[in-house]
Amino acid sequence: MSHLVTTVRTAASTTADTVRPHLIALYRAVVGLLFGCHGAASLFGVLGGAHGGGTVPAGSWPGWYAAVIQLACGALVLLGAATRPAALVASGSMAYAYFTVHQQHAPAPLQNGGEPAVLFCWAFLLIAVLGPGSFALGSRLAR
């Protein structure tokens, strides 16, 4: 029985090691795409636009700069190019957004509407730590 348990654990561990880079890549792509869509909505008025319609005025602080970071970092993370630095910038921008925009209204994300900022902040921090996974453009260009 002990040999069977060891065999099953080894097989499960091998499968997890094989699948992990692909799951990280999928996670990176989904998070990057969603973040980039926020930037595109704010800059170009697509996908419902900024704050329910329209665009953010060019050069306005902090909205326009946040939208540029969202679009650029979202695209880089989606493609897996300069993934760690882009994810770190995106994470920092969402931490800034939470503490300067949302937290002043109420202490908890559920009360102040800051859940997306908190989730993106932690999602990008995880991507910055784990790296791009498989199918990253940066890895292919380095070869």
Q: What percent of the chain has pLDDT over 70?
A: 90
Closest CA to 77 of 18, 20, 119, 130: 130
135 pLDDT exceeds 80? yes
Contacts 24+ apart (CB under 8 A), 83-89: 83/28, 83/127, 83/128, 83/131, 83/132, 83/136, 83/138, 84/127, 84/128, 84/131, 84/132, 87/124, 87/125, 87/127, 87/128, 88/124, 88/125, 88/128
Domain ranges of the chain: 19-133
What pLDDT does 13 receive? 72
Tokens at 20, concatenated:
């992990």
Question: Taking 70 as the threshold, does the pLDDT of residue 8 lie above it?
Answer: no
What are 39-85's pLDDT values in tens digits? Answer: 999 999 998 888 778 898 898 899 899 999 999 999 999 999 999 99
